[in-house]
C-alpha cells in the first residue's frame, strides 16, 4: 500500500484549493491538451512538462509532500493567489524535505506591537504617496515584473490588515520599500523568530550582510546551526 501524506503537507484549506484548481485544469484541458498546456505555459519540453504535472498530480492525491521546488514549477499553472499562499506557507513550514508546524500568530502581523504600528504608518505613507500607482512604484524600486509586484503589494496588504504574519519571505519582498531603519529592525526580529526554507538562505545571507545590525541575527532560531550565522554572530 502506497504511503499517504495527509493534505500533502499543507493545511486542509490550502490542500483543498490545490485540489480544486487541479480539477478545474483537468476539466478545461482534456487528455493530450493537458500536457500541451503545461508546455505552452512553461515553454518547456515534453519531458519537463511531464515532470511538472506528475509532481502536481502526486501532491493532489497525497502521494507526496508538496515542496517549494514543486510550487515554483507551478507558477503560471495555478492561480497567482494560490501560488502566493503556497509560497508563503512553505517558506515557514517546510524544512529539509519535511513540513514543520510552526504556529504563526497574525496579531500585529506577528511583530511586537510598537514595530507593527511603525510598519502600518510607513505603509500608509506609501499609499498616500502612490494612491493610484503603488504597483508601478514597486516595480521601479524592485526592478521586477507586474506579477512579482503584485505579490509584494499583497504581502503589504495582508500584513497591514493582520491577515498574515510578516515572515522572512514577506520581509525579503518588502526590501527597498520601507525605511532602512524600520526594515533593519523588522529583519532583526523575523530572522530571529521565524524559520525559513533553505531556498531563501542566499537572500537571507545577502540581507544580513547589507543591513548589519547589533542584533543576534538568527541565533534564537531552533534549527539554525549553520556556519554562516555562527560566523556572523562572531563578527566575521
In a shared domain, residues 204 and 137: yes
In a shared domain, residues 132 and 85: no
Q: Which of 99, 130, 162 is the last residue of a domain?
A: 99
Most confident among 54-68, 86-100, 185-199, 211-225 (mean pLDDT):
54-68
Instruction: Write down the pLDDT at residue 211.
Output: 79
Q: Which of 42, 68, 99 is the last residue of a domain?
A: 99
Comparing 99 with 226, the larger pLDDT belongs to 99
For residue 1, is it within any domain? no
The C-alpha torsion from 93 through 48 and 53 to 98, rounded to 10°, is: -20
In a shared domain, residues 37 and 62: yes
In a shared domain, residues 50 and 113: no
pLDDT digits (tens, 9 = 90+) for 47-78: 888 889 888 998 999 888 888 888 888 988 99
In a shared domain, residues 135 and 188: yes
Domain ranges, residue 118: 107-233
pLDDT digits (tens, 9 = 90+) for 105-144: 788 998 999 999 999 999 999 999 999 899 999 999 999 9
Q: Is the pLDDT of residue 12 over 70?
A: yes
Q: Is the pLDDT of residue 212 over 70?
A: no
From the list 167, 166, 162, 157, the residue with the least C-alpha distance to 107 is 162
Q: Which of 51, 74, 99 is the last residue of a domain?
A: 99
Comparing 224 with 123, the larger pLDDT belongs to 123
In a shared domain, residues 112 and 77: no
Count: domains in the chain: 2
For residue 117, is it within any domain? yes
In a shared domain, residues 127 and 226: yes
Alpha-carbon span 71 to 207, nearest angstrom: 24
For residue 57, is it within any domain? yes
Grid cell digits, residue 229: 550565522
Cβ neighbour number for residue 58 with a 10 Å cutoff: 16
Q: Degrees (nearest 5) of the Cα angle 36, 41, 45?
A: 55
Instruction: Write down the pLDDT at residue 49.
Output: 86
Amino acid at each position: 500500500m502506497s504511503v499517504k501524506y495527509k493534505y500533502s503537507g499543507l493545511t486542509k484549506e490550502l490542500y483543498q484549493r490545490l485540489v480544486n484548481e487541479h480539477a478545474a485544469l483537468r476539466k478545461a484541458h482534456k487528455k493530450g491538451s493537458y500536457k500541451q498546456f503545461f508546455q505552452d505555459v512553461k515553454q518547456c519540453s515534453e519531458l519537463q512538462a511531464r515532470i511538472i504535472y506528475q509532481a502536481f498530480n502526486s501532491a493532489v492525491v497525497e502521494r507526496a509532500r508538496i515542496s517549494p521546488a514543486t510550487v515554483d514549477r507551478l507558477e503560471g499553472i495555478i492561480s497567482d493567489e494560490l501560488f502566493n499562499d503556497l509560497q508563503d506557507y512553505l517558506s515557514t513550514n517546510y524544512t529539509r524535505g519535511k513540513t514543520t508546524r510552526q504556529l504563526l500568530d497574525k496579531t500585529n502581523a506577528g511583530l511586537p506591537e510598537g514595530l507593527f504600528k511603525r510598519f502600518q504608518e510607513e505603509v500608509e505613507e506609501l499609499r498616500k504617496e502612490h494612491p493610484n500607482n503603488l504597483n508601478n512604484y514597486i516595480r521601479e524600486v524592485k526592478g521586477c515584473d507586474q506579477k512579482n509586484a503584485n505579490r509584494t503589494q499583497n504581502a503589504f496588504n495582508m500584513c497591514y490588515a493582520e491577515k498574515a504574519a510578516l515572515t522572512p519571505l514577506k520581509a525579503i519582498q518588502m526590501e527597498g520599500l520601507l525605511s532602512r531603519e524600520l526594515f533593519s529592525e523588522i529583519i532583526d526580529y523575523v530572522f530571529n523568530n521565524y524559520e525559513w526554507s533553505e531556498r531563501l538562505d542566499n537572500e537571507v545571507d545577502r540581507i544580513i550582510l547589507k543591513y548589519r545590525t547589533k542584533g543576534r541575527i538568527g541565533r534564537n532560531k531552533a534549527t539554525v546551526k549553520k556556519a554562516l550565522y555562527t560566523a556572523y554572530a562572531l563578527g566575521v
